[in-house]
Amino acid sequence: MTLNVYKYKNYNEYVSEQTKANKKKIHWEFNSKHHIEWIKTVKLNAKKIICHGTRSGGEQKLFKLYYPDAYVIGTEISETATQFEMTVHHDFAIEKKEWIKQFDILYSNAFDHSYDPDVCIETWKNQLSIDGKMFIDWNKYHQDESHGPRDPVSGSLDNFTKFLSSHKIKILQNNNDLLMCAVEI
C-alpha cells in the first residue's frame, strides 16, 4: 500500500532539486485543457480555485477561462513563480492558515513532487471548502517504479488509491488519468 518516496538528505536539497527541474522545464506546459473541461462537467461552479505545482501558470489561465468569475491562484516552489500571474512562490505542502477550508477546487498534476506525501495530502485536504473537490492527475508516468530527486513520489494506481483511502479520501470518479477525490466528512 505504500508509495515509493525518494529520500533527500534534507529539505534544502528537495527545494534545490525541484527549483532546478522547474527552471529546466519553465516553458513546458502540461496540456491540462481536457482535464479542466472534464472538471467543469463534474464541478459546475467554483468561487475559489487553487492549482499546486503550476510551473508557469498555465493551469490558472485555463481555469480562469472556464470559471471566469472565480478567484484562481497557483503555487510554485521555485522563485520563478513571481514571473507569472496568479502564481505565488510557495511549497504546496506547507499550510497557509488563510487557505484552510477556502477552495472549491484543488487541482494538481504535481503530487509526485511531494517531499512528504502524507503531510502534503493532509494540507490539501484542509484547503477544501465544505463541498470542495480535489482533482489529482496520477497518470502512467507517476506509476513508474523509478523515482528520484526530480520526481520523488511514484507508485501504482492501486497503491495511490489505497494511499488516498488511508487519508480518508474517497475517489468519486476516475477519468482515465485524472482522479477526482473528495474528502469524506
Give the pLDDT confidence score for residue 176 in this predicted structure: 63
State whether CATH 2.60.40.10 applies to domain 4-180. no
CA pair distance 178, 168, nearest whole angstrom: 18
Give the pLDDT confidence score for residue 94 in this predicted structure: 97
Element (H, E) at 28: none
Report phi then psi at 40, rounded to 5. -60, -30
Give the pLDDT confidence score for residue 185 in this predicted structure: 44
CA pair distance 88, 111, nearest whole angstrom: 17
Q: Indicate the pairing of strand 169-175 with strand 178-183.
A: antiparallel
CA pair distance 185, 178, nearest whole angstrom: 22
CA pair distance 111, 14, nearest whole angstrom: 14
**Cβ contacts of 108 within 8 Å, gap of 6 or more:** 51, 52, 53, 92, 124, 135, 136, 137
Domain ranges, ordered by start, for the chain: 4-180
pLDDT tens digits for 107-164? 998 999 999 999 999 999 999 999 999 988 887 666 666 677 888 998 888 888 899 9
**Cβ contacts of 89 within 8 Å, gap of 6 or more:** 75, 76, 77, 78, 79, 81, 82
CA pair distance 32, 53, nearest whole angstrom: 13
pLDDT tens digits for 53-92? 998 888 999 999 999 999 999 999 999 999 999 999 999 9
pTM score of the predicted model: 0.91
